[in-house]
Amino acid sequence: MFTDPATWTVLIVEDEPDNLEIAETVLLFVDSTVYTAADGTEGLRQLETITPTFVLLDLSMPVMDGWEMLEQVRANPRLANLIVIALTAHAMDGDRERALQAGFDGYITKPFRIDTLLAAITKCLQEIEEARG
C-alpha cells in the first residue's frame, strides 16, 4: 500500500528548520506531496484542509507539542485513524514504547540523515501496515 513514495501526501510538523528542510527535501525528491507546519497548532490548521497519507510529527515544539497535537488528532473522528509517526530526539530506553502507547503509529529518531530517512519512513510504514493487517 505504501510502496510508492510518489503517491504519498505528507504533513511534516517540525519546529527545527534544518530537520524540516531535510525531511521535506527527501520527500520532494521522491515526488511526494509535502505540507509543512512549525508547531502543532499549525499542523492542526493544515489538517482542516488536507488529509495526508501520514504525518511526521516532532514531539518537542513550542506553542503546541506533538503529544498534544496527537491527542487532538485522535479525538477528531475524521482524523482518528490517520497514521502519525513520531519524529524525536527522545531516544532513551522506553521512549519508543511511551510514544506508541500514547497513540503514535511509528517512531523515527533524530537526528536523521538524507541518505537514511526514506528507508526509515518506508520501514515504519511497512510495520504499521503489518500491524493494521
Give 20-41 pLDDT, tens digit per residue: 999 999 999 999 999 999 999 9
Q: So what's the pLDDT on residue 27?
A: 96
Domain boundary assignment for the chain: 5-132
Which residues, in sequence order, are CB contacts of 54 under 8 Å at separation 6+? 8, 10, 11, 82, 83, 84, 85, 105, 125
- Following CA atoms 81, 106, 104, 107 in sequence, which dihedral angle do they give, to the nearest 10 degrees? -160
Architecture of domain 5-132: 3-Layer(aba) Sandwich (3.40)
Residue 116 has what pLDDT? 87
Question: Taking Cα atoms as reference points, which of 30, 75, 19 lies closest to residue 53?
Answer: 30
Q: Evaluate if pTM is beyond 0.85.
A: yes
Q: Is residue 118 within a helix (H) or strand (E), and if so which, with residue range?
A: helix 114-132
| Least-confidence region, from 2-11, 59-68, 90-99, 115-124 | 90-99
